[in-house]
Amino acid sequence: MLNSILKKSRFGIIGISLLLMGPLQGCISKKEGNATWLDRLFARAAFQYYLHQAEPEIEKESRSGESGVFYFTSYYLNGMLSAVEATGSESLLKKTTRYMDNMMTSVQSIDYKGKTYQAWGPFVIAPHSEIPKPNVHYTLQATVPFARAASIILRHSGWSAKYSDKAQRYIEFANSAVIQYWYLAQYNRHVPWLDTEHVPIWNDNSTNMGLVATYLYSATGDPLYREVAVGVGQAFQAKLSPSGRGWIWESHTIPIGSDTDNTPGSVGNQAGVPDTSHTNREPFLMIALHEAGLMYSRDDIDRMANTFTDTIWNQSYEDPSFSNYLNGSNKPYRVYMEPGLNGPIYHGWAFVGGYSWPAQKVLVATMKAIAHGKKNPSLVRNATSYGGKVGLVGQILRNYSILSASHSDN
């Protein structure tokens, strides 16, 4: 009955929450660290509302059969998996894995040197090769939530037996599509983007391969996955340099005007440092490795959180915005000309809120600003990007569960 009423309501779930926020904010003072109980309630309602809005699009994408589409679907799935971790909701787990099972129906077989591997199409002929292959860039990112879902299931006391077969299917696919086909067969037990002689600037294909391997290791304990995960993590650690209370990497090593992505009108990278959008994957990797017990200390994570709160964020809770580049620059990037337009933070930077109340406070302010219809280039980008609102609020929910469990107040 309640769900029916909410769906028919002109305001819906989030509208009712917004109405409650005003009269109750001043009279309820129960706190979880620096965050109010109402903020957490609001996030739960917002997540349900945003997911309901997005479900037709996720369903459509999950049935597309193309890795290039699944690349973007992963943003939704990782937000949903974060909410699964936060809430322990079996119904949400089932909904999330139903989309993933749709994607699994389009897995194809591909032969290479007498062995058969699983992969998503379409298979294309790349430069310097006459053999059709899957797209490695799309495959790596799209596979991350499969390895992550397997890890979540197998580490949950109530789900590990019940959904073991599903988790094993995800593990077998991720292992075949990423580790066996790319890492072992194509790259000869080597992550090519870590070869600094030929790839001097950090490449996020390494990050995504590291994420897949980290979650596979978390799910299985297999030393092969540990080898890949730690190898990528150590290579990224070597790139890090302190900058104030935070981190910087590839500082002024990126040629001005490079990284145009061949998009009409693109000006490429205009700051000479990594851009904010693409660096989402690195805090995601650091936290995954930390939580898997493989590497990165709490101090390392704290520094990454400080990078977000000290440098990327504009220091406003009323009108939060995020810089176009890692060093706080708002110079144009590719076709994103306005300050803050290249500042999506929902799919990676948002994870730091699980280890930093100040960062979580910024994220909650961003969620509220979007919910109240406020607009600036950063808010628009985080609200309208693939999986933006689902990802942002899913990560916020996960952060609350981590912060509450640790009773941290950093």
pLDDT per residue as tens, the chain (410 positions):
333 433 444 345 445 444 444 433 333 334 444 447 899 999 999 999 999 999 999 999 999 999 999 999 999 999 999 999 999 999 999 999 999 999 999 999 999 999 999 999 999 987 777 889 999 999 999 999 999 999 999 999 999 999 999 999 999 999 999 999 999 999 999 999 999 999 999 999 999 999 999 999 999 999 999 999 999 999 999 999 999 999 999 999 999 999 999 999 999 999 999 999 999 999 999 999 999 999 999 999 999 999 999 999 999 999 999 999 999 999 999 999 999 999 999 999 999 999 999 999 999 999 999 999 999 999 999 999 999 999 999 999 999 999 998 864 44
Pairing label, strands 132-133, 241-243: unpaired
From residue 249, how far is each of 80, 214, 272, 273, 290 by CA, in Å? 30, 22, 11, 8, 19
Structure tokens at 333: 């990037």
**pLDDT at 147 (0 to 100):** 99
**pLDDT at 188 (0 to 100):** 98
pTM tops 0.85, yes or no: yes
**pLDDT at 407 (0 to 100):** 60
**pLDDT at 9 (0 to 100):** 40
**pLDDT at 130 (0 to 100):** 80
Structure tokens at 198: 């030929």
Structure tokens at 153: 């299931």
**pLDDT at 104 (0 to 100):** 98
Which one-letter DSSP state was computed for residue 115? E
Residues 383 and 375: their CA atoms lie apart, in Å, by: 9
CB 362 within 8 A of CB 309: yes
CB 64 within 8 A of CB 72: no
Which helix (H) or strand (E) covers residue 125, if one does? strand 124-125
Q: How many alpha carbons lie under 13 Å from residue 221 in its C-beta half-sphere? A: 2
Kindly tell me the burial class for residue 405, based on how many C-beta atoms sit within 10 Å of its own C-beta (0-12, 13-18, 19 or more). Answer: exposed
Helical pair 204-220 and 136-154, crossing angle rounded to 10 deg: 30
Tell me if residue 176 falls in helix, strand or coil: helix
> Residue 132's beta-bridge partner residues?
125
**pLDDT at 5 (0 to 100):** 34
Give the closest residue to 47 by CA, choosing from 349, 358, 371. 371
Tell me if residue 157 falls in helix, strand or coil: coil
**pLDDT at 28 (0 to 100):** 33
CA 181 to chain centre: 24
Structure tokens at 227: 């080898």
Residues 55 and 393: their CA atoms lie apart, in Å, by: 15
Residues 35 and 86: their CA atoms lie apart, in Å, by: 16
Residues 9 and 367: their CA atoms lie apart, in Å, by: 21
Tell me if residue 356 falls in helix, strand or coil: coil
